Amino acid sequence: MAVETAVELKNKGNEAFKNRDWPTAIEYYTKAINADDKEPAFYTNRAQAHIKLEAYGYAIADATSALDLNPDFVKAYYRRAVANTAILRHADAIHDWKIVVKKSPADKVARTQYDACQKLVKRDAFLKAIEVSDAPSAAEGLDLDSMVIEEGYDGVRLKDEMTQEFIDDMIERFKVGKKLHRKYVFQIILKVKELVYNEATMVETHVEPSQKITVCGDTHGQYFDLLEIFRLNGFPSPTHHYLFNGDFVDRGSWSTEIALLLYSYKWLYPSGFFLNRGNHETDDMNRMYGFEGECKAKYSERVFKLFSESFSALPLATLIGDKYLVLHGGLFSDDAVSLDDIRKLNRHAQRQPGQSGLMMEMLWTDPQTAPGRGPSKRGVGMQFGPDVTKRFCEKNGLEAVIRSHEVRMEGYEVEHDGKCITVFSAPKYCDSTENKGAYINIEADYKLQFHKFDAVPHPDIKPMAYAQNGMMSMMGM
């Protein structure tokens, strides 16, 4: 009887999966496992739903559970390989890809992934070997003054200051697939790199009467959905500030367009337009999830290197009105960490976040419903419970922590007794999740106003079109 019930629950999970409702699918697969914990397929099904939600640590655990039940279950090796590849553990992934290729020699996708993984392991070793801590900037030797804007260039000209006219023209150019002149691309990145480098690690701002600030979560290269936020909510202006909370790039195939538009607004409104760094404003993620490939395809490798330098200069958090700490990932493994520790953190001493420390935790951690702290469902960082959030907010005089970093089916979620808020601004994420997007408006009364919105149509270019390792097909996107 339990077996029949379990199969019924698994089928309901499959139905939810088919409808791209990954959280509901996970709920049903979990119930199926509770009814019959000896069926490896239940674990691999749940692993695939976890992969869709980027809970790669959970996916690895489920695939391993399936293999404990059946060491010959190819699908479990496949799922675990996918999850390890996704969190850049190529050496672990290669072991499982090798087994999949051996057991399923006709599987061309697995063979491609195995070959790609071998190349990535070699490339990682090469990059580590040539790494120089104080490498010269990609701007060295770049002579903007000698770059000529050809007469045939049909866009608005940019001089020494950003203008609304230039931005309006840029928005329309990007809609129809046109690019900016490379001189302007270099100008924008270099100017914004300088601006954000000189900002504090935790920017502190207030909302004055007759002003408002909009907090947006991940946009992930979904340019047309970013324009929908501006259409619904109003464009940035001297009285309408914006904060974009990381993960502007990767996955979506208009990441250069988003980065250049956000950077142009930062240049136009340096004290009223804010950018926090996310875990995807990092080199290793950009290599895996498409931004590096997109920069090279649309502009040049030098453009990617300059973007990389500017990403490592971005602030890691923004404090709004001494009430809301906004950062991409979440809280810390140590209760002793305070806002002053964030203020004192020298982010310029460490360009990439690494595997531990405050910067990594600010970019990677996630909330959990259970008290205390737990292992990361992603396989990177950790998770923090409602008690951790409560203590942090009380110690630092905060009303709440606002973070992004995770898909929420309604675009946002209020957790931890109202003290932890997730906002995610990429609706129909990767064209494969039926989630809404959201943004938060905050006016001078500091009340949070939540707004949800739906995805809008975009040209027929698939997500991660510029990723160079077949991640799309591997993850079933």
CB under 8 A, 24+ apart: contacts of 151-158 = 153/181, 154/178, 155/180, 155/181, 155/184, 158/184, 158/187, 158/188
First to last CA, the chain: 35
Between CA 6 and CA 28 the distance in angstroms is: 9
**Over the stretch 73-101, which tens digit does the pLDDT of each residue have?**
999 999 999 999 999 898 899 999 999 99
**Over the stretch 118-146, which tens digit does the pLDDT of each residue have?**
888 888 788 777 776 667 899 999 999 99
Percentages helix, strand, coil for the chain (3-state, rounded to 5) are: 50, 15, 40
Q: Which numeric CATH code is attached to 144-474?
A: 3.60.21.10
pTM of the predicted protein model: 0.94
Q: Residue 1 pLDDT > 80, yes or no?
A: no
- CATH 3.60.21.10 spans which residues of the chain? 144-474
Task: Give the pLDDT confidence score for residue 474 in this predicted structure.
Answer: 53
Q: What are phi and psi of 37, to 5 degrees?
A: -90, 15
Neighbours of 410 (CB within 10 A): 12
- In sequence order, which ranges of 251-357 are alpha helices (DSSP H)? 255-268, 283-289, 291-298, 301-313, 339-344
**Over the stretch 17-33, which tens digit does the pLDDT of each residue have?**
999 999 999 999 999 99
Query: Per-residue confidence at 355, pLDDT binned at 50, 70, 90?
Result: confident
Q: Which residue has the tokens 């982010």?
A: 347
Task: Give the pLDDT confidence score for residue 477 in this predicted structure.
Answer: 41
Q: Which of 50, 90, 241, 280 is catalytic?
A: 280
Q: Is 234 left (phi over 0), alpha (psi -120 to 50) or beta?
A: left
**Over the stretch 267-323, which tens digit does the pLDDT of each residue have?**
999 999 999 999 999 999 999 999 999 999 999 999 999 999 999 999 999 999 999
Q: Indicate the fold that domain 2-130 takes in CATH.
A: 1.25.40
Q: Among 186-200, 398-412, 438-452, 458-472, where is mean pLDDT lowest? A: 458-472
**Over the stretch 23-70, which tens digit does the pLDDT of each residue have?**
999 999 999 999 999 999 999 999 999 999 999 999 999 999 999 999
Q: Is 280 a catalytic residue?
A: yes
Q: Please report which helix (H) or strand (E) contains residue 15, including its range.
A: helix 2-18
